[in-house]
């Protein structure tokens, strides 16, 4: 992996044209220092050169091994991974797993063995018999609205999920979801989409950082962009923080100005 845009001014020759260790990736992607009542929401997405966030409904075909290493590193740094219900269904989400390589780092940060998974859903149309709900290291959180179907809420609770109300109607208020998670000590937040959920966070001006892998592929078709849904009045401007490259893939990181 080649560093093109240094994270610090201390770039050494041995950091060029070689794979980064997990510790180096963790340092490159570490969360900023947070105030006692602060929180930070970052997104991790992948896109082809022509803007497709998926191929055949999944992100895996446009990813590569290094993208997955960064994916795992971002999860290992987070308190919580926030994901939409459709992505859970399409991508076959499983609980986050504990990784020995990050155990000491998480313990020093006061984190549990693995990130909590938080699923955003209005209908709770989820299979609560899946391992995501029956055997996570940390109980899965279901973020929903006050008007969510009572029978589905009961099913979620029965399966062991923690149901958190983050909206007055059936749906979830993205900014409130961020606050509700932070109030539960889940302040280092990561969203992996899908595009509609990311679009909601963008429209609510709740996103602090975007980690975007640009895949050197062209797919055409009608695949979604990484962000969809409601538009913003004025486009949000972010500042580049890091740029890595390997085999034509660009691994970018942009932060709120």
Instruction: Write the CA distances from 201 to 63, 152, 168, 179, 248, integer angstroms.
Output: 23, 25, 17, 12, 29
Element (H, E) at 13: none
CA 157 to mean position of chain CA atoms: 24
Q: What is the pLDDT of residue 6?
A: 41
Note if the bond before 199 is cis, omega within 30 degrees. Answer: no
Instruction: Write the CA distances from 76 to 129, 132, 235, integer angstroms.
Output: 25, 17, 31
Helices and strands, number each (H, E), in the chain: 8, 10
| Burial environment of residue 153 by CB neighbours within 10 A (0 to 12, 13 to 18, 19 or more) | middle
Give dist(CA 195, CA 248) in Å, integer.
24
* Spatial contact of 3 and 15, defined as CB atoms under 8 Å apart: yes
Q: What is the DSSP string of 35-86?
A: -TT--EEEEEEEEETTS-S-BTTBSGGG--HHHHHHHHHHHHH-SEEEEEHH
Structure tokens at 22: 């997990």
Give dist(CA 36, CA 183) in Å, integer.
11
Q: What is the pLDDT of residue 3?
A: 53
Structure tokens at 169: 């109607």
Please state the φ and ψ torsions of residue 37, each to the nearest 5 degrees: -105, 15
pLDDT tens, the chain, 257 aa long: 445 444 444 444 344 567 788 999 999 999 999 998 899 999 999 999 999 998 887 888 999 999 999 999 999 999 999 999 998 988 888 999 999 999 999 999 999 999 999 999 999 999 999 999 999 999 999 999 999 999 999 999 999 999 999 999 989 999 999 999 999 999 999 999 889 999 999 999 999 999 999 999 999 988 889 999 888 989 999 999 999 998 899 999 999 99
* Spatial contact of 74 and 44, defined as CB atoms under 8 Å apart: yes
**Taking phi first (over 0 means left), then psi (-120 to 50 degrees means alpha), and beta for anything else, what does residue 187 get?**
alpha
Give dist(CA 236, CA 69) in Å, integer.
28
Give dist(CA 124, CA 155) in Å, integer.
9
């Amino acid at each position: 992996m080649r560093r093109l845009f240094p994270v610090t001014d201390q770039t050494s020759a041995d950091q060029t044209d070689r794979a980064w260790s997990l510790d180096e990736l963790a340092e490159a992607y570490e969360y900023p220092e947070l105030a006692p009542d602060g929180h930070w929401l970052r997104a991790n997405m992948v896109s082809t050169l022509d803007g497709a966030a998926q191929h055949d409904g999944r992100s895996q075909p446009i990813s590569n091994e290094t993208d997955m290493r960064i994916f795992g590193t971002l999860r290992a740094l987070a308190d919580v991974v926030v994901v939409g219900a459709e992505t859970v269904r399409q991508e076959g989400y499983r609980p986050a797993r504990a990784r020995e390589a990050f155990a000491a780092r998480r313990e020093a940060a006061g984190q549990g063995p693995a990130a909590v998974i938080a699923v955003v859903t209005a209908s709770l149309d989820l299979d609560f018999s899946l391992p995501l709900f029956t055997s996570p290291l940390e109980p899965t959180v279901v973020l929903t609205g006050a008007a969510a179907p009572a029978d589905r809420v009961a099913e979620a609770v029965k399966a062991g999920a923690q149901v958190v109300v983050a909206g007055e109607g059936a749906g979830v208020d993205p900014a409130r979801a961020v606050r509700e998670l932070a109030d539960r000590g889940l302040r280092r937040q990561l969203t992996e989409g899908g595009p509609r959920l990311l679009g909601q966070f963008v429209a609510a001006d709740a996103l602090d950082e975007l980690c975007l892998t640009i895949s050197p592929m062209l797919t055409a078709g009608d695949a979604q962009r990484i962000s969809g849904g409601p538009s913003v009045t004025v486009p949000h401007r972010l500042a580049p923080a890091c740029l890595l490259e390997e085999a034509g893939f660009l691994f970018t990181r942009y932060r709120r100005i």
